[in-house]
Amino acid sequence: MLIKTQYGVVDPTFSGQPEALAAALTQWLWANPKSNPRAANPDSWDETGFAVTFLDRSITFSAVPAGETASQKLNLGGGKNVIVFSRVQTVTPTTIATDPNTIVLPNQLPNFTLVQQKRTDGLEVIQEVPLQSCFGWGLAPYVLPVPERWLGNLEQRFVVTNNNTYPVDITLSWHLAILNTGR
């Protein structure tokens, strides 16, 4: 059941956030007409049966050759607004070397991998930087200082550059919230 506050309606999922932020996050998901047919009428949101759900989404760039660049487009919510809470990356050699001297720690390969994120409206969200600067890794995900709101109608293009001396597989993952309407 949604909570009414001085800042507006708050979904219980966000009740651990400061009240003003919780209301803004609720508004971002619930007031999106692409997600909620009752977006314009907050008094009826409780009647919808919808709920905020957390998801993990990812894209993988397979076998990116040494010194090469690869790109993919992504829309995390399939047209719905989403809220990104954290990001994680993994970079692994495409083929495991048999020489034990070539084995490295999981957080070393991203030193030699660059990433860039650009929205289809032209905004460059992440300039080309080492992957570890803006995506964490397994034991230490990159938790955003404030949850990031992604517009559902904008695709994001991710470009990765492999500066390692061998092919690598690169996976980028996001922990996000979306309004679950049952579709």
Q: What is the pLDDT of residues 61-105, one digit of tens each?
A: 999 999 999 999 999 999 999 999 999 998 888 876 655 555 565
> 13 and 100: one domain?
no
| Positions in the chain short of pLDDT 70 | 96-109, 183
Q: List, in sequence order, every beta strand (DSSP E) within 8-139.
A: 8-10, 51-64, 69-74, 82-93, 113-119, 124-130
What's the total number of domains in the chain? 2
pLDDT of res. 38: 94
| CATH number for position 144 | 2.60.120
What range defines the domain where residue 125 resides? 52-180
Instruction: State which H helix or E strand residue 162 sits in.
Output: strand 156-162
H/E element, 26: helix 19-30
89 plus 144 within the same structural domain = yes
Helix (H/G/I), strand (E/B), else coil: 173: strand
Are residue 28 and residue 90 in the same domain, yes or no?
A: no
Task: Output the pLDDT for position 81.
Answer: 97
Same domain, yes or no, for 41 and 114?
no
Q: What pLDDT is recorded for position 133?
A: 87
Contacts of 12 (CB under 8 A, 6+ apart): 1, 2, 3
Looking at the structure, tell me whether residues 90 and 17 fall in a common domain: no
Single out the residue in 27, 47, 67 at which a domain terminates: 47
What phi and psi values does residue 36 have, to the nearest 5 degrees?
-125, 115
For residue 38 the two structure tokens come to 């009752």
